[in-house]
Chains A and B, each alone.
Chain A
Amino acid sequence: MNAIDLTLLAAGAAEAPTGVSLMWLVIAIPLASAAVLLLAGRVADAWGHLLGVAASAAAFVVAAWAFFELLGREAGERSFNLGLFDWITGDEFSLQAGLRIDQLSISFVLLVTFVGTLIHIYSVAYMSHDKDRRRFFAYLNLFVAAMLLLVLGNSYLVLFVGWEGVGLASYLLIGFWNYRTDYAVAAKKAFVANRVGDVGLLIAMMTMFAHFGSLSFDDVFAQAGAAKVSVLTVIGLALLLAACGKSAQFPLQSWLGDAMAGPTPVSALIHAATMVTAGVYLVVRSGPIYSHTPNARLAVLVVGAITLLYGAIVGCAKDDMKKALAASTMSQIGYMMLAAGLGPIGAAFAIMHLLTHGFFKAGLFLGAGSVMHAMQDQVNMRRFGGLATAMRVTWITMLLGWLAILGIPPFSGFWSKDKIIEEAFIGEGWQPWVFGLVAMLGAGITAFYMSRLFFMVFHGQARWTDDQHPHEAPALMTVPMAILALGSVALGGILSLVGFAEWLKPVTQAFTEVEEQEPVLPVIVITLTTLVLVLAGAALAWVRFGSREAKVPILPPPAGALVKAAREDLFQDTANDVFLVRPGQAAVKGLTVLDTNVVDGAVRGIGWLVQTAGEKVRRWQNGYVRSYAATMLAGVILLAAIVLAVRL
């Protein structure tokens, strides 16, 4: 152990300042609000949305207070363990439920509460015509509480409670309009895919408990250095599985596209900005484990690289605006995974990209919601076009978000994504070349599909249906969009200038010595090549979808094999169907046959036997005393004969 983590452990015992010691409130307030909204019933319909917004805002205020207290302390003394109560007490295993407030968790808490509050405000207007708006806010608050518990927990078990909580909230919100069967099916699909990931988290926790006898972050990370590499690899791969489920990474990514069935604010908050990034948080938080197991780290890298290309390719072919954004989310989280797999330095940029992405992607989704609001819930981009003049504010906010995700300097995305690409080129052997080039190529494709989306919606010829009259959204919706757009412009630059990676260092580099390395290519070459690819992608999209000459057909034109495959999510659902669903159904059918014929057959057979035998034997019960007597006599004679036969 080096010097940093000793101070870190010591700081955990120090007296926490007031704001930090009140951090339990950030979970309790939204949770209490959710309970009130759900239990109060229709009484709360009139003011339920206001309570929801207030709860989220209050959580943000407390979090900001704690954040400034942390800022005022030395770098090594910004980590606190806040014990709440003894959860499990036993001889072999005791666990105190507690919160861990440090640089990593507070960054997350600020993102969740700030973006969450903006989206709450936006939802007041967006959901104003829905008669179930109170229930919607109850679920949103439940989600905020669960997400904060996830990032604030000081052990894997507390994290797991939050992990399941966000899964539940996600399920409830995807299926919010569950009177539509396909929406309910989408919710179930998300839930089931998440369960697969949860199994991974459970396996990881069991392995940790078997080998370290504890589940708290401090104990596990302190012992990780001395543990066998094979054990750490198992834990690392199991945690990766969990992260894949939650963050829609390959091969568990199929649920995210369907999850767009939920109301658009939900897509913005849960399926873009916060919940889907929980997997990245898990991998970064477990950095001390991954730093000792190169194989598991390589697996994280591979998963990230595959997903970032996968999402980008799918995004190019989607005509559904929200599904294209979902594919983009998948791809961007792929970048974060890739960075998290690179180790301590990459992990800092993974979190930084997570924060900037949280802003610009939430902004893009809210913009999409605004467009849907104006176009009578139309999501087909082939029926948009030319909306730039009709919706000025939405156009500008989405323009800024678009520039941010493209990574054009000086917008947010440039500072975080370019850094990730740069980090991907660090290393030895084949790895930097493969991962670096994949990340670079991904940036080019990202530029193409995001520009395609932007131009198809806002530029080119109007292809609206006759009954559509686009209009700008009310201020309750445009103001949150504008604030997020400001974040898309400035957040990345600000985080870089104030040294965000330096701020995270005590967490990401707590248990590992890091030596600075140079990329295999000069940084300037990487940056310029990436920019050229991005501009090329955007220009291509402009020629095909944006310029006045470009004709965008209203129906998807016939296309080559790759585009067809991308329209079908690269056959992810088909693959799931063939390899998992159908064998599963066949097995269940077989078991049903077995059950009805063998198990039920045995039970029914016994019944039939007893009944038939009874039918025959009861004839002897004829009521005639003399026949009973004769039977008894015969019995006695028989017994006597047997006894005598044995004797003689």
Chain B
Amino acid sequence: MSVTAYLVLACVLFAIGGTTVLVRRNSIVVFMGIELMLNAANLAFLAFSRMWGTLDGQLAAFFVMVVAAAEVVVGLAIIVSLFRTRRTVSVDDESLLRH
């Protein structure tokens, strides 16, 4: 299979993830959208890595996964503590930092 198919799939996944972040209010779901976007990027990295026959892309994918894991830890902790104090996980309700 050519690299184009992988890139198209990565784009589709990224678009789904982005749309999820933009339109969903539940912060857990927003988080899933972000994971989806990150993994779409990973897929693109791997596809290019295969295409050029080098390991740089795979290395980058590993870094992305590590960062994503760390982000999940921090992000979920924030969501849990928010839920405990405010009884909601909707991102639109957490709009106190504004003009």
Cβ proximity bits B12-25 to A, threshold 8 Å, 1 near / 0 not: 00000010011101
Inter-chain contact total with CB atoms closer than 8 Å: 33
Nearest CB in chain A to that of B94: its residue = A625
Identify the closest chain A residue to B23 (Cβ).
A626
23 contacts between A and B (CB under 8 A): A618-B99, A619-B99, A621-B98, A622-B99, A623-B94, A623-B96, A623-B97, A623-B98, A623-B99, A624-B91, A624-B92, A624-B95, A625-B91, A625-B95, A626-B21, A626-B23, A626-B25, A626-B92, A629-B21, A629-B22, A630-B22, A633-B18, A633-B22
Q: Nearest chain-B residue to A619 (Cβ)?
A: B99
Count of residues in B whose CB is under 8 Å from the partner chain: 14
A residues in contact with B94, CB < 8 Å: 623, 625
| Minimum C-beta distance from B26 to chain A (A) | 11
Tell me the nearest residue of chain B to A625, going by C-beta: B91
> Which residues from 573 to 630 on chain A have a C-beta closer than 8 Å to any C-beta of chain B?
618-619, 621-626, 629-630
Given the complex of chains A and B, what is the CA–CA distance between A625 and B21 in angstroms? 9
A415 shortest CB reach to chain B, Å: 93
Q: Convert A625-640 into 0s and 1s, putting 1 for each residue whose CB lies closer than 8 angstroms to a CB of B.
A: 1100110010000000
Are A623 and B22 in touch, CB under 8 angstroms? no
Q: Please measure, in the bound complex, the distance between the C-alpha atom of A624 and the C-alpha atom of B99, giving whole angstroms.
A: 11
Report how far A629 CA is from B22 CA in the complex, Å. Answer: 7
How far apart sit A285 and B25, CA to CA, in the bound complex (Å)?
Answer: 96
Q: Which residues of A contact B91 (CB under 8 A)?
A: 624-626
Q: How far is the CA of A265 from the CA of B35 in the complex (A)?
A: 99
Q: Which residue of B lies closest to A618 (CB)?
A: B99
Q: Which residue of A lies closest to B24 (CB)?
A: A626
Q: How far is the CA of A633 from the CA of B96 in the complex (A)?
A: 22
**Cβ–Cβ < 8 Å partners of A624 in chain B:** 91-92, 95, 98
A411 to B99, CA, bound (A): 94
A612, chain B: closest CB distance, angstroms: 15
Bound form: Cα–Cα A630–B25 in Å:
13
Across the interface, which residues of A come within 8 angstroms of B30, CB to CB? 625-626
Contact status A623-B95, CB under 8 Å: yes
Does A622 contact B22, Cβ atoms closer than 8 Å? no
Nearest first, the 9 closest Cβ-Cβ pairs linking A and B are: A623-B98, A623-B95, A618-B99, A621-B99, A625-B91, A622-B98, A624-B95, A623-B97, A621-B98
Query: How distant is the Cα of A619 from the Cα of B99 in the complex, in angstroms?
Result: 7
Nearest A residue (CB) for B21: A629
Which A residues, 140 to 168, have Cβ-Cβ distances below 8 Å to chain B?
A: none
**Chain B minimum-CB-distance residue to A624:** B95
Q: Which of B22, B97, B98, B99 is close to A626, meaning CB atoms less than 8 Å apart?
A: B22
Which of chain B's residues have a CB closer than 8 A to the CB of A619? Answer: 99
Closest chain B residue to A614, Cβ basis? B99
Could you list 7 further interchain pairs (A-B, Cβ under 8 angstroms) beyond the known A621-B99, A623-B96, A626-B23? A622-B98, A623-B95, A623-B97, A626-B91, A629-B21, A629-B22, A630-B22
A626 to B33, CA, bound (A): 12
Which residues of B, 61-80, contact A by the 8 Å Cβ criterion?
none
Bound Cα distance A626, B25 (Å): 8
Within 8 A of B (CB), among A308-366: none
CB-CB nearest in chain A for B19: A633
Return A518 CB to nearest CB of chain B, in Å: 99
Nearest-CB distance from B47 to chain A (Å)?
A: 19
